Amino acid sequence: MWIFTALLYITFHIHFGNANTVPVFVLDYESVLPQIDLEPNPFSKVDPNIFLDVIHETLKDDKIVVIFIEELLSTEDISIKDEHGSPFYNLKRGILNGKVKYFPKVVEPYKALKQVFQHRKFNVFHITSASNKIQIHNGRQKHFYIYFKDVLNETRANALRRHDLVMNEVYSVIKSIATGPVVAFYTGKINPIVIKKMNFLPIKPTSVRRPPGVTITSTGGLFRLIESVGLLEMGEEVGRTKLGVSVPWNHSYVCGEPLILVNTRDGSSVIISQYQIQPFHTDLVLRNASSGSQHCFGPAIHCGPYFNAQILSGLLVTFLFLGIITYGITTLYGCNSNDRYDNPQGKPLVIMADHH
């Protein structure tokens, strides 16, 4: 048994899978965004075009937009907990009350927000707590950027808890002085968690051109033609048909069933109505050719139903004897028995004998 070992070369393309997806919270405490209805599915990403539609909804009806930005934010930050529980107390309560919408994975939300809401001189603030002074000129700005600044020696849970309090207080202040409804976004610039994702690109195998011919293998006293019959055009194979033959050595294979070879280029076909094949040992052919003898086909083995005079005469003799046997059996069953055996009370059989 032959064992074939193939070497497969694979190239790896590594890119960052979650580096461009950041969670987004939409704070709508006044319920002015009923059109936004996206299911918070952590296994699917929100396309930038869909998120832009959400942003454009906030531009209607003179809404005031507040954008809270973290330097780093991921879905793992949203699920973080410490001894005091979740750091997002106000956001969690807003989600339960249906006032806050949560999108776990949005593709580059910060880039989309900056595309719609431009940075101005008086609408960008960097704060660490709600005690920082924020100068808001009433009626002049329609959107504000609030960037959170980290504090040294502060755990991640404490930092997020502080930011949650700041968002709640800033939102309340802006809402108290705003002339229209207030909507807020809470997201991050980038996702700090990077997952390496590998794509396997197998090299396309090169096509191996098989030489024309037939490979013959022998099992016991039979030979088999394993390879197919190929159709060549200008030395190039354009079609192939499977052919399996199993006959004894020194016998030929004859078949009257059409062998069809289809040209894969133009759809034409070549039909061989009848063919006869037989393998010969190369050394014997060369040896006999040197002595001037010709090689001929051996006894033919047909591929399908085959009749000759011997088979037909054998069938006729068989049917003749079967007819004679059938007639004899029918005659025996038709013989009538004597009356004595039919009726025990009947007249006995009397045979008169003449005495001379």
pLDDT tens track for 19-49: 578 999 999 998 888 888 777 777 788 888 8
pLDDT at 150 (0 to 100): 81
Range 305-327 average pLDDT: 88
Tell me: pLDDT of 3 over 70: no
pLDDT at 291 (0 to 100): 52
- Residue 298 backbone dihedrals phi, psi, to 5 degrees: -85, -170
pLDDT tens track for 292-315: 556 688 888 888 766 678 888 999
pLDDT-derived band at 213 (thresholds 50, 70, 90) equals low
Tell me: pLDDT of 118 over 50: yes
Tell me: pLDDT of 186 over 90: yes
pLDDT-derived band at 138 (thresholds 50, 70, 90) equals low
What residues form DSSP beta bridges with 22? 106
Q: In the chain, where are the structural domains located?
A: 15-197, 213-356
Range 322-342 average pLDDT: 80
**Alpha-carbon distances, residue 172 vs 27, 90, 152, 181, 223 (angstroms):** 12, 12, 27, 12, 92
pLDDT-derived band at 160 (thresholds 50, 70, 90) equals very high
pLDDT at 110 (0 to 100): 92
Label residue 75 exposed, middle or buried (CB < 10 Å: 0-12, 13-18, 19+).
middle
Considering the chain, what is the average pLDDT of its residues? 78
pLDDT at 47 (0 to 100): 86
Q: How far apart are CA 327 and CA 322, in angstroms?
A: 9
What residues form DSSP beta bridges with 315? none
What residues form DSSP beta bridges with 67? 145, 185
pLDDT at 317 (0 to 100): 95
Tell me: pLDDT of 76 over 70: yes
- Highest mean pLDDT, choosing among 65-74, 244-253, 288-297: 65-74
Tell me: pLDDT of 219 over 60: yes
Tell me: pLDDT of 264 over 60: yes
Tell me: pLDDT of 125 over 70: yes
Range 6-17 average pLDDT: 33
pLDDT at 347 (0 to 100): 66
Specify the higher pLDDT residue, 166 or 346: 166
pLDDT-derived band at 177 (thresholds 50, 70, 90) equals confident
* Token pair belonging to 36: 């936004």
Using alpha carbons only, give the angle 225, 226, 230 rounded to the nearest 5 degrees.
90
pLDDT-derived band at 2 (thresholds 50, 70, 90) equals very low
